[in-house]
Amino acid sequence: MKKRKHHYIWQFYLDAWSSKGKLWCLRESVFPSSTLNVAQSRDFYRLQRLTEGEKKYIRFMIGNSFPRDMFGLHSDILARHTRPFRLEDKLKELGVLDEEAQSLVDKLINDTEEDFHSEIEGGKAQDCLKMLRLGDISFWENNSLRLVFLHFLALQYFRTKKMQDKIFEANSGFLKHEAAARLDIDLARMWGVTRQMVALNVTKSLYYDRSYSLVLLDNVSDVSFIAGDSAALNTCAFNGAEANRLEFYYPVSPRFAVLVTNNRGGCERDVVGGEEVEKYNRMMLDHAHEFVFSNNKRQLDNYRDYFVQDRVS
């Protein structure tokens, strides 16, 4: 059976804010929910059949715009995305695409990217997250684990509904241009492929730039770090426009959050109080798309007017 609830925020991640299987959520109101029923959308990661123009355009980016040493990895992403459709076409050509075969192909189309994210999250990235929840950042000194965590973090930044909706919004304008029809490309249809490629490019950039370090924010106040449905955010983007510098902020529990930053000079633990926690929570409220999460109902009650009004305006 194919998976229908595709989570764009990992359930295991949200477990850090839950108690007895429930966490507090703020949308238009504050309500309790299981992690199963929030930050998910039906068939969110379902693959889209690319046109020949779109495949040609992506291959051009792989060969000319993206890092040359990433050619093989990017080509593998494109091949994985198009494989179910090539299988469907071959079975159709052979005249054996019966109802059972079509159902299996449809499952591949629906589950391939969802399974990819599950595989990433179920591996060493989960070990890193478990360590961070205990206030342990020692994995950063291991090159292999640092690479795993950076890839995981980049995927969390690009995989969300908010990021996809921004691409779709930009696409609505792009489709009005003559080039869209001439090249036979749709940015929204390509996003399922290109978001994974862009995440890899960011991973490589951060990994080889040794000025970046991991800073653990240790919250000693009675104010919890909150989470959002855009879990990782770029703190440098809070100046009214996307900044050309990158500093990831990623809360991992009510007590701990991390920064991946080139503004500190080395790995460290930074003890933060209520005022600093509120600063990061306000960023999360501003950055969230539809939901924010906490282990504390009263905290979300206090944020409700600001969060809802910000989306109305």
**CA 236 to CA 248: how far, in whole Å?**
8
Q: Over the stretch 36-64, which tens digit does the pLDDT of each residue have?
A: 898 888 998 999 999 999 999 999 999 99
Please report the pLDDT score of residue 312 as a whole number: 53
Please report the pLDDT score of residue 241 as a whole number: 46
Q: Total structural domains in the chain?
A: 1
Q: Over the stretch 125-145, which tens digit does the pLDDT of each residue have?
A: 999 999 999 999 999 999 999
| DSSP SS3 for 273 | coil
If 0-12 CB within 10 Å is exposed, 13-18 middle and 19+ buried, where does residue 203 land?
buried
Please report the pLDDT score of residue 104 as a whole number: 95
Residues in the chain, pLDDT under 70: 174-176, 180, 239-243, 265, 310-313
pTM, to two decimals: 0.92
Range of the domain at 225: 5-312
